[in-house]
Amino acid sequence: MSVLVYTENWDGKFKKLSFELVSYASQLAKMLGTTATALSIGEVEADELKKLGNYGAERIISVRNANLKNLDSQAYTAAIAEVANNIGAKAIVISNNNTGKSIAPRLSVRLKAALGAGVGQLPLSTSPFVVSKRAFSGASFMEVELRTEVKIITLMQNSFEITETANNANIEEMQVNVDAPKTTVCDVQRQTGKLLLTDAEIVVSGGRGMKSADNWGPLEELAGLLGAATACSRPVSDEGWRPHEEHTGQTGKIIAPNLYIAVGISGATQHIAGVSSSKYIVAINNDKDAPIFEVAQYGIVGDAQKILPQIISAVKEVKSK
Amino acid sequence: MKILVCISNVPDTTTKVKFVENDTKLDTNGVQWVINPWDELSLTRALELKDDAGNSVNNVTVAHVGPATSEPTIRKALAIGADEAIRVNADQGDAYYVASQLAEVLRANQFDIVLCGIESSDYNGSSVGSMVAELLGLPSVSAISNLQIEGEKVRITREIDGGKEMLEVATPFVGIVQKGIAKEPRIAAMRGIMQARTKKIAVVEPAAVDSLTQVVKFDKPAPKAACKFVDADKAADLIALLQAETKLI
């Protein structure tokens, strides 16, 4: 019996998301009176694997298999299901990112295990096993009972505090039987040298109120100073002022940074749906009645072109101290 | 080639959601129902493929699991251009229940490509498409932002954390679709609306399947504190405030 947590790697490295997942699994294991086992698939060095132990994984299983070189949802499902059965997993924790979304539902069917998708906190109770998840695109939460013996939870990114623990982890290799994938990855395009929007703790975002693609300089400067990622609202990506990867909102990226700075964004329901899980929202908008101020904790009513330079110099001053 | 697009019936995205019966059910009073936005994009891409003479797509069917009251949403899909529709006559259960019903539809009818939206805007589960694929033992690809057909091969772009991957997959398979797959959802023209009236909606009874989960209740997010305003002429004060109160800068 154990809680199994699947920790994806990016070119052999883990990131904050991985440690959030392990922290969550370890706390969940405590609630269930058991321990957490982390599963890594792919080529990850022992030193890197060992890091998972810093967040409460007592056992670290490493699976290397030529058929798992690329993400194939069937192959990964087969591998994780086999490991889950081997260790008698009571619960399985996976990220709610695109990788998790492609595996967890398949795993739910394969193991006949109820899936709580997009969970942001520990279960409200374990008997019955009830989780709270995002619903109606952030306008509500839904308490859902998972009614099977084995449970699967996908965790929203940036929703769980990382906690470091003493590291007692054992690393072991495990063999799995996986058929050759039926999908072939032909090419990969990576964003390099840029902080990913979904990983960022601070996000600076621009809307139609920025008026033109040429006005993004100060916004990018502010993001650079704050170590933030840049985002935008839907009209901005539709106009082609910014790449569509930056579109944040219901049909774009759903993010949950600690600080979201919305500049020239009025705050349509669809935009709020993508950012409502942010810890703090700052809004700068020339319309005092803009709905963004209803969800923001801090606001400035005025012209972004005049306000941004003042903010930039204030940040520079703070950072120089 | 035949494409099946699975559609979900959801409250319009601007709906102010309210709950009834001790917060266990959505208050459907005054709710406008629409095709789930991602399913609408899937349908649009399927119809674009059908219109393109460069491939063999010749039929686009929509499938929906829901009661008779969701037929206006199915008619809308037919008006946009779907050739036919299948409705599984069930009050919606959980994602596993819905996926199991769709899997039955696929066992009874041959399709080469099955498209589902990456999530529904009501329960945000991102589950049904991948569950259908697993139930049928089909390959599935998630977060698809581009889909092209070249002969018997399907070329797909999917979004991953920090980039894109280009894939090839043989049919049949399940594609789980996100933004980017089509530029704008197609809008029904008057001619389409007229034609939709005579298109057939096949109604099938549901298979006996138990849900794996049960909704206990809905909660509204805790109200946030009122916005603190900083004067536009003293915008620098915002940074001092953020430093003091959020400790993030």
Domain boundaries, chain B: 2-218
CA of A7 to nearest chain B CA: how many angstroms apart? 14
Confidence grade of residue A1 (pLDDT, cut at 50, 70, 90): confident
Same domain assignment for residues A73 and A212: no
Reference A71, options A181, A176, A155; nearest CA is: A181
Q: How far is CA A258 from the centre of its chain?
A: 13
Whole-number pLDDT of residue A168: 85
Residues A40 and A104 grouped into a single domain: yes
**Are the CB atoms for B122 and B98 separated by under 8 Å?**
no
> Other CB atoms closer than 10 Å to residue B146's CB: what's the count?
16
Q: Is residue A193 included in any domain, yes or no?
A: no
Q: Look up tokens 């204030």; give the residue.
A: A314
Domain that holds residue A308: 202-320
**Do A302 and B248 make contact, defined as CB atoms within 8 angstroms?**
no
> Are residues A226 and A144 both part of a single domain?
no
Residue A253's closest chain B neighbor by CA?
Answer: B179
Quote the mean pLDDT of chain A: 96
CB A117 within 8 A of CB A55: no
ipTM of this model?
0.96
In chain A, the number of structural domains is 2
pLDDT score, position A125: 98
Residue B84 burial by Cβ neighbours in a 10 Å radius (0-12, 13-18, 19+): middle
Span A256-276, average pLDDT: 95
CATH of the domain at A118: 3.40.50.620
Largest CA distance in chain B: 68
Which tokens hold the place of B239? 């940074």
Asked if residue A159 belongs to a domain, the reply is yes
Same-domain pairing of A12 and A152 = yes
Residues A167, A316 within the same domain = no
Q: Which of B127, B163, B243 sits opposite A191 (nearest CB)?
A: B163
Alpha helices in chain B (DSSP H): 37-51, 71-80, 95-108, 128-136, 190-196, 236-246
Of the candidates A104, A103, A112, A93, which has an alpha carbon nearest to the alpha carbon of residue A52? A93
Domain B2-218 class, CATH top level: alpha beta
- On whether both A148 and A47 belong to a single domain, the answer is yes
Strands (E) located in A156-258: 170-173, 183-190, 202-206, 229-232
Measured CA to CA, the distance from residue A25 to residue A36 in angstroms comes to 6
**Residue B194 forms contact with A (CB below 8 Å):** no
Residues ≥6 apart with Cβ < 8 Å to A147: A114, A128, A129, B211, B212, B213, B214
Whether residue A310 and residue B228 make contact (CB cut-off 8 A), yes or no, is: no
Same domain as A152, residue A7: yes
- How does pLDDT run along chain B (249 residues), one tens digit per residue? 999 999 999 999 889 999 999 999 999 999 999 999 999 999 999 999 999 999 999 999 999 999 999 999 999 999 999 999 999 999 879 999 999 999 999 999 999 999 999 999 999 999 999 999 999 999 999 999 999 999 889 999 999 988 999 999 999 999 999 989 998 899 999 999 999 999 999 999 999 999 999 999 999 888 878 999 999 999 999 999 999 999 998
Choose the closest CB to B139 out of A74, A299, A306: A74
**How many CB atoms lie under 10 A from the CB of residue A298?**
21
Residue B149: the pLDDT is: 96
Q: Please state, in angstroms and rounded to a whole number, the distance separating the CA atoms of residues B15 and A313.
A: 41
Across residues A229-255, what is the average pLDDT?
A: 94
Q: How far is B200 from chain A, CA to nearest CA, in Å?
A: 31
CB distance B212–A282 less than 8 Å?
no
**Measured between beta carbons, which residues in chain B are less than 8 angstroms from residue A103?**
130
Q: Which helix (H) or strand (E) holds A60?
A: strand A57-63
Q: Write down the pTM of the prediction.
A: 0.94
